[in-house]
């Protein structure tokens, strides 16, 4: 919705008055949506990073220090891949087999 210039100026003046009086900052609905979206994306990203970190520890526990190629596989991995590799830890005889035979479905 587009307000006439005089009304838009009045709205912003009122908001500034309220912000000063109440010691709060106005956040528009568009800013609220962006903040909420950022929180959700941050949670998802953190969740995947946590799975990657845990998987690295499990792999190291089972197979010893990870070679560079294996550690590099974990960084860009999707959640589905991480879960498939985690399941493969139980049956794969070697580290290579974890990454080779895992089915991300």
For residues 67 and 56, the answer to whether their CB atoms sit within 8 Å is: no
pLDDT in tens, the chain (105 residues): 677 888 777 777 776 777 667 776 666 666 777 777 777 677 767 778 889 999 999 999 999 999 999 999 998 999 899 999 999 999 999 999 999 876 665
CA atoms within 13 A on the CB side of 49: 6
Q: Model pTM?
A: 0.60
In 20-50, which positions are buried (b, 16+ CB within 10 angstroms) versus exposed (e)? eeeeeeeeeeeeeeeeeeeeeeeeeeeeeee
Q: Give the chain's end-to-end CA distance (angstroms, integer).
A: 46
């Amino acid at each position: 919705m587009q307000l006439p210039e005089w009304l838009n100026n009045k709205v912003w003046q009122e908001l500034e008055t309220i912000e000063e009086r109440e010691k709060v900052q106005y956040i528009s609905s568009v800013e609220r949506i962006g903040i909420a979206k950022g929180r959700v994306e941050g949670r998802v990203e953190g969740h995947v990073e946590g799975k990657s970190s845990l998987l690295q520890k499990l792999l190291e526990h089972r197979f010893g220090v990870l070679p560079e190629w294996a550690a590099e596989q974990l960084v860009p991995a999707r959640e589905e891949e991480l879960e498939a590799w985690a399941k493969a830890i139980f049956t794969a005889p070697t580290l290579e087999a974890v990454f080779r035979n895992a089915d991300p479905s």
